[in-house]
Amino acid sequence: MKRKLASIQSVLAIDPIANADAIELARIQGWQCVVKKGEFRVGDAGVFFEIDSVPPDDERFAFLWRPKDGSMVAQPANFRLRTLRLRGMLSQGLLMPLAQFPEIPSGLTTGSDVTEILRITKWEPQIPLNDEVDGPFLPGVPKTDEMRVQSVPEVLTEIAGKPYVITVKCDGTSATYGMNRQTGVFTVCGRNWSIKRGTNAYWHAAEKYGLEALLGRFPQWIIQAELVGPGIQKNRLGLKGIELRVFNVYDQERGRYLDHDEAAAMLATHGLPMVDVLERGESFAHDQASLLALAEGFYPGTQNEREGLVIRPQTETHSLVLGGRLSFKAISNRFLLKGGD
């Protein structure tokens, strides 16, 4: 499912904020954000911009980066919507009146994606590695990007009562390894592109774990992992060298992900590290609040906030809500408030 960075949403609730005369809290989908007092009423439609959204350099958004004195400044190059705490309340994203965007067609309804109409892009972290783009991503292989539970709260109903597994989300960068079925060439990819062979961290990990030889023997497998270690993000796992934490094994011949236990057995056999399991059970019963609470914690052996969790059924399951596999994430609010990406 493609993430809706900007969408039309209805206000589900308005809550007062103690000792705040000018602002109040609006609840949209599974999110909450601070708005001007009186700007919205319950049931009103607005345009909701999720965290990590990068708005265009447009006068309607200039209040986000303009100094309090009102002086004209250009949009900062690294600007994006982030998680904030205002008057003690968590505020995630931005809600603006629908009337401010006349370019949105009048027939669109709640839930409609207006990301492209409003020229909203997604902020992506840049890792300081000497990697170079070699070409497109591996053909026929799904890219890695889970939806946040706040954006698709309906997934909680889909997974309820099912055997489940919750794994720790590592704060690194996505890496995909496999044989290109069209060319027969071992290929290393970042999140969106293949990476040239070289001394970069992606290829260093491939060599460290012998992935070219392994996947040459088993060309049906695609390994998707978080690349972590020094020089990647802030190395919150406190590692001394570049490592992988595998979160997906995809069978490109059959067009399916391996179930959790299948993947765990395969990875153990070949000495590949899997992401840590935080919780496993036979009947999923979490709600959004309990998942976000569970997401908070430290990476082992550190005082660094972990990024969050990934939640899946133990057996691969199709999601009607997501239009694909049933898999989603819960990001720690403590991590976000402390500057996590």
- Domain boundaries in the chain? 6-122, 133-337
Per-residue confidence at 48, pLDDT binned at 50, 70, 90? very high
Note the pTM of the prediction, 2 decimals.
0.85
Per-residue confidence at 63, pLDDT binned at 50, 70, 90? confident
Residue 80 scores a pLDDT above 70: yes
Per-residue confidence at 180, pLDDT binned at 50, 70, 90? very high
Q: What angle do CA 295, 13, 61 make, to 5 degrees?
A: 80
Find the range with the poorest average confidence among 1-5, 107-111, 119-123, 317-321: 1-5
Per-residue confidence at 1, pLDDT binned at 50, 70, 90? confident
Find the mean pLDDT for residues 26-52.
Answer: 94
Residue 10 scores a pLDDT above 80: yes
CATH class of 133-337: alpha beta
CATH 2.60.40 for domain 6-122, yes or no, is: no
Residue 128 scores a pLDDT above 50: no
Per-residue confidence at 190, pLDDT binned at 50, 70, 90? very high
| Tens digits of residue pLDDT in 289-302 | 999 999 999 999 99
